[in-house]
Chain A
Amino acid sequence: SQKIEQNSEALNIQEGKTATLTCNYTNYSPAYLQWYRQDPGRGPVFLLLIRENEKEKRKERLKVTFDTTLKQSLFHITASQPADSATYLCALSTGNQFYFGTGTSLTVIP
């Protein structure tokens, strides 16, 4: 089965800096790699999707890269704000199976 590792359980950064979160996976390469945001007591919310043939995807202050050779995705939040504080989940999907990492808790310090 697919194994997904996200870099650290918790990441603290200063407001205005760029946060970089890592997602590594084993076994086969997924067709899609996705990032979700989860706030305490809430369900995960979709942020970005990147396909296996795409290297990079951007949405406002968010950027995702996908390296199928390294089996790694990086998720960047530029000009971070305290409102970006949340847990970010990496998810891999092949067909209609979705596998999630354990998440990285991000705290942006004012």
Chain B
Amino acid sequence: DAKTTQPTSMDCAEGRAANLPCNHSTISGNEYVYWYRQIHSQGPQYIIHGLKNNETNEMASLIITEDRKSSTLILPHATLRDTAVYYCIVRALQGAQKLVFGQGTRLTINP
């Protein structure tokens, strides 16, 4: 699985959009981009994933650049409960038993 690079930490004001970047310059054509988050002491929570098109669900939007070397997770209206560590993961379709979690971005939502 390709390696990802994320900022160590970010801050965002409550009610604003939180934009979390991820670089995955060595991503292969058969690898998806996944985002998970982990709120303190809880299990990782799936947010969204995509291959090359932008994706949106009830939690977030995922914007993947045309060359697929980077992506951005957008939380449109951040709340205090969105404070968590966010993980960007690239994962192949076949033989992909494990998820490789890096260090992630610690997002703090400020009131």
Q: Do A and B come from one complex?
A: no
Residue ranges of A at the interface with B (Cβ–Cβ < 8 Å): none
